[in-house]
Amino acid sequence: MRFTDKVFLVTGAGRGIGRAIAKRLAEEGGRVCVVDSDVAAGRDAADEYGDRVRFERCDVSREPDVRRAVRAAVAWGGRLDGAVANAAIVHPEVGPTERLALATWQKYLAVNLTGTFLLAKHAIPHLRRSHGSIVTLGSTRAIQSEPDTVAYSATKGGIVALTHALAISLGPEIRANCISPGWIATDEYAPRKSRKRPDLRAVDNAQHPVGRVGRPEDVAGLCAWLLSEEAGFVTGTNYIVDGGMTRKMIYK
Ligand SMILES: NC(=O)c1ccc[n+]([C@@H]2O[C@H](COP(=O)([O-])OP(=O)(O)OC[C@H]3O[C@@H](n4cnc5c(N)ncnc54)[C@H](O)[C@@H]3O)[C@@H](O)[C@H]2O)c1
3-class secondary structure for the chain? CCCCCCEEEEECCCCHHHHHHHHHHHHCCCEEEEEECCHHHHHHHHHHHCCCEEEEECCCCCHHHHHHHHHHHHHHHCCCCEEEECCCCCCCCCCCHHHCCHHHHHHHHHHHHHHHHHHHHHHHHHHHHHCCEEEEECCHHHCCCCCCCHHHHHHHHHHHHHHHHHHHHHCCCCEEEEEEECCECCHHHCCHHHCCCCCCCHHHHHCCCCCCCECHHHHHHHHHHHHCHHHCCCCCCEEEECCCHHHCCCCC
Is the pLDDT confidence value at 45 over 90? yes
What's the rounded Cα separation, in Å, for the pair 136 and 236?
Answer: 11
pTM here?
0.99
pLDDT tens sequence across 132-162 = 999 999 999 999 999 999 999 999 999 999 9
Looking at the DSSP bridge assignments, the partners of residue 214 are: 184
Is the pLDDT confidence value at 48 over 90? yes
With CA atoms as reference, report the closest residue to 6 among 20, 25, 19, 21: 25
Average pLDDT over residues 15-42: 98
Task: Give percent above pLDDT 70 in the chain.
Answer: 100
The residue nearest atom 36 of ligand 1, judged by CA position, is 12
Is the pLDDT confidence value at 252 over 90? no
Pocket residues: Cβ below 6 A from ligand 1: 11-12, 14-18, 36-38, 41, 58-61, 86-90, 111, 137, 139, 181, 183-184, 186
pLDDT at 178: 99
pLDDT at 175: 99
Q: Which atom of ligand 1 is nearest to the CA of 60?
A: 32
pLDDT tens sequence across 190-242 = 999 999 999 999 999 999 999 999 999 999 999 999 999 999 999 999 999 99
Is the pLDDT confidence value at 167 over 90? yes
Q: For a pocket test of ligand 1, which of 17, 94, 153 has the largest count of ligand atoms closer than 8 A to its C-beta? A: 17
What's the rounded Cα separation, in Å, for the pair 48 and 26?
Answer: 11
Q: Which atom of ligand 1 is nearest to the CA of 214?
A: 3
Is the pLDDT confidence value at 250 over 90? no
What's the rounded Cα separation, in Å, for the pair 177 and 164?
Answer: 7
Q: For the domain bounded by 7-247, which CATH number is listed?
A: 3.40.50.720
Residue 37 phi, psi dihedral angles, 5° rounding:
-85, -15
Residue 82 phi, psi dihedral angles, 5° rounding:
-160, 140
pLDDT at 20: 98
pLDDT at 135: 99
Is the pLDDT confidence value at 27 over 90? yes
Instruction: Label residue 131 by pLDDT band (50, 70, 90).
Output: very high
- For 69-106, letters b (16+ CB in 10 Å) and e give bbebbbeebeebbbbbbbbbbeebebeeeeeeeeeebe
Cα(98) to ligand 1 centroid in Å equals 26
pLDDT at 192: 98
